[in-house]
Amino acid sequence: MKAIVVTGLGQGPRGLQYLEVADPLAGAGEITITVRAAGVNFADSLMLAGKYQTRQPLPFSPGLEVAGVVESVGHGVAGFKPGDRVLAIPSYGGYAEKVAVAADRAVPIPDEMDYVTAAGFPVAYGTSHLGLWHRARLKAGERLLVLGAAGGVGLTAVELGVLMGAEVIAVAKGAEKLAVAAAQGAHHLIDAGTDDLKAAILAAGGGVDVIYDPVGGALFEAGLKAANFEARALIIGFASGDVPQIAANRLLVKNVDVVGFWWGAYADKAPGVMADSFRTLIGWWQAGRLRPHVSDTRPLEQAAEALELVLERRSTGKVVITVG
């Protein structure tokens, strides 16, 4: 099969190679999937740099979410058969024509869900829903601040926050990205380049109850200064490259919770919680309550370009690689 392969760390997207490699085999408890589409995520770049939470042995293919058709099932697998349409979250390996994945990391997709939509669904929607619902305990009527609000996960946080009844303040860079957040229902729009972000947040109706932060750096610090009493700050990632150092006295004075959240850990540590989240999300999609936004698709051989779109923040919503 063809696959995008990393042979050495620290080379960035341009170090990716389009190669012929051996087909994967389904081990016990696994299925193999003929990949039709694969989602592109910032985390893929961390894998390339050897900075992701888990490290893969070289050579490997990046890619944390795929959609396709079950090709084969391994020993002990129940509930899947060849020909089933699925989305899945492999630990890596999604940038390929085929991938082997643990069966409990895959879920069936409705017949009406196309593969591009399905491939861009798990990480972005899963991160935002599990983070807001399970970790941040977002309640209807609360004020939700979304940083990086036009990115892959940020845009789904805007959409889900509105769906869950929150008043959403979206922060993104430039009018074009803010317009995308507005289209997903954001109630207030703030340019990330504003001189005084804290003041802009407060001017948009007051402090915030939940901070959704995949960016880090100065944006997080400004958001934390605008936190209400008993606010929750949800740490998703550090796309800015700047990991903020949090002043503990600010947490003490306002009784603020800072909540760490790595969505991928739930696949191993609490798969039932992740499955409940997926069931809710797919149900909302089938009911027409979610509108996934894919801004760009690229064929497998152009995976480096697809990843660069994400890293250079030239995309909004999801970028998806198409296969076959």
Residues 258 and 168 in one domain: yes
Q: Which domain holds residue 303?
A: 2-121+292-322
Residues 89 and 134 in one domain: no
Q: Is residue 282 part of a domain?
A: no
Q: Is residue 139 part of a domain?
A: yes
pLDDT (0 to 100) of residue 267: 86
Q: What is the length of the chain?
A: 324
* Average pLDDT of every residue of the chain: 95
Q: Is residue 286 part of a domain?
A: no
Residues 52 and 154 in one domain: no
Full-model pTM: 0.87
Residues 35 and 48 in one domain: yes
Residues 137 and 200 in one domain: yes
Percent of the chain with pLDDT strictly greater than 70: 100
pLDDT (0 to 100) of residue 287: 96
Residues 152 and 252 in one domain: yes
Reported as a single tens digit per residue, the pLDDT across 3-19 is 999 999 999 998 999 99
Nearest to 161 by CA among 178, 180, 137: 137
Residues 101 and 229 in one domain: no
* pLDDT mean over 198-221: 96
Say yes or no to pLDDT of 320 above 90. Answer: yes
pLDDT (0 to 100) of residue 311: 92
- Residues 6 or more apart whose CB falls under 8 angstroms from that of 229 comprise 254, 255
pLDDT (0 to 100) of residue 36: 98
pLDDT (0 to 100) of residue 77: 97
pLDDT (0 to 100) of residue 323: 97
Reported as a single tens digit per residue, the pLDDT across 299-312 is 999 999 999 999 99
Q: In this structure, what CATH number is given to the domain that contains residue 178?
A: 3.40.50.720
C-alpha distances in Å from residue 25, one per residue of 59, 71, 72, 78, 136: 17, 10, 8, 17, 39
Helix, strand, or coil here: 266?
A: helix
For the chain, the domain total comes to: 2
- Where residue 272 falls among pLDDT bands split at 50, 70, 90? confident
Q: Is residue 299 part of a domain?
A: yes
Nearest to 190 by CA among 136, 145, 226, 141: 145
